[in-house]
Amino acid sequence: MSAIPSYRLSTSPGKGLGLFAARPIAVGELIISERPLFLARDEWEIYEELAELSMRDEETFFALTDSHNPEHPTAATIMLTNGIPTDPQINQGGIFPIICRINHSCLPNSHYTWSPSARRMSVYADADIPEGAEIVVSYIRPLLARSDRQAQLWESFNFACGCSACTGPPDPVSDSRRERIYELYSLVGMAMQYEMHVAGMQYTKERLRLMDEEGMGHLSTRSNCHGAGYVMAQEASDLDTARRHFAQSYAYALLGEGPDSEETTGRLRRYLSWRLNVERKIGRVDTLPVICDRCGREGHRSLGETGGRGKDGGNRKGSEAAVAVGGGFVEHICECGSAVYCSNACRTNHASTHQAVCEVLRETGMIALMMEGRWEVHG
């Protein structure tokens, strides 16, 4: 990571102050980590916390934008405008002097993550951010149609979004894609609840593919998607697919939460625990889906077959990692072992999306952990 500061505060046209990249920022890079001026759950706590602040910190707080009452700012409406959720279950939010300056976009290039144990809010890059570009997050759930997003932003923050996803002619394709991504979130949850694991794995792959098409790169969301795929692949006894989903889930957690977060370390603990008990898995279906990470094309592999292995059970890498499966599908596996494609063309076209995950798995030594031993299903 560069020692040069990654951001600078500057005026954003029509938005007041904002954060801008002071140098190129790589996907997964920690942009800023900051302690709160205070945390509060209601108006009474806001005034209690303000009474404890130094004069300098109090001035910092009242210098923040008040989009609800710009002519006569109040502590409550400044908190309503700038407070970042830290514990939604108790309606708690925090004020962070610099992070609260980050503006909104429906195509965010970064995201917040709160660590209760460290008591810090961190911002990680969801994409490569070129020098001079504004660092933006989404204040709302971005998987709404444009009109619904605008209505929610106006109601909650009293402004209309002017990002590229919200300007220009209406885009029904984008709206439909975002609505389907949100629908798939519910379908995956339903599949897990009712043990429809194979269908759930298909929904997960479709959701990830549509996120790629829409240009939505929220790392934590991708980590959770792959985490769900990992759980369902375990339950379906598709051990190779479970391993691949875990690898990507863990890599996205590393990129989006950092190596020491509760989410990242928890995922690794759960995976290692599963590895210890993997031989107890019992096959439940005769065939399993093999779904291309790039185009969504589907083939089927018989239960017990393992992709990307030679006749001696060893791992094959690179272009050699191709295994014929049902429906004319040829399974090409990335060298890192975490992504599968139906053709070299799909593998090449997905390279820019997959590159960051691939590099993380190499740098952390996770490939060796993922690949050691042979996966077998005992029925």
Quick: pLDDT tens for 99-135: 999 999 999 999 999 999 899 999 999 999 999 999 9
Which residue, chain included where needed, has tokens 């020692």?
3
Residue 41 included in any domain: yes
pLDDT digits (tens, 9 = 90+) for 186-211: 999 999 999 999 899 999 999 999 99
Q: Is the pLDDT of residue 282 over 50?
A: no
The rounded distance, in Å, linking the Cα atoms of 87 and 116 is: 9
Residue 196 included in any domain: yes
The rounded distance, in Å, linking the Cα atoms of 323 and 343 is: 11
Looking at the fold, whether 277 and 236 belong to one and the same domain comes out as yes
Looking at the fold, whether 222 and 337 belong to one and the same domain comes out as yes
Q: What percent of the chain has pLDDT over 90?
A: 50
Q: What percent of the chain has pLDDT over 70?
A: 83
Looking at the fold, whether 213 and 253 belong to one and the same domain comes out as yes
300 or 193, which is more confident: 193
- Characterise 42 by phi-psi region: left (phi > 0), alpha (psi -120 to 50), beta (else): beta
Contact 93, 39 (CB under 8 A): yes
In this prediction, residue 316 carries a pLDDT of: 38
Range of the domain at 146: 7-157
Looking at the fold, whether 89 and 199 belong to one and the same domain comes out as no
Q: Is the pLDDT of residue 309 over 50?
A: no
pTM for this structure?
Answer: 0.80
Residue 291 included in any domain: yes
In this prediction, residue 141 carries a pLDDT of: 85
Q: Is the pLDDT of residue 60 over 80?
A: yes
Looking at the fold, whether 27 and 120 belong to one and the same domain comes out as yes
Looking at the fold, whether 88 and 135 belong to one and the same domain comes out as yes
| Residue at a domain's end among 134, 157, 180 | 157
pLDDT digits (tens, 9 = 90+) for 218-252: 888 899 999 999 989 888 888 888 888 988 998 99
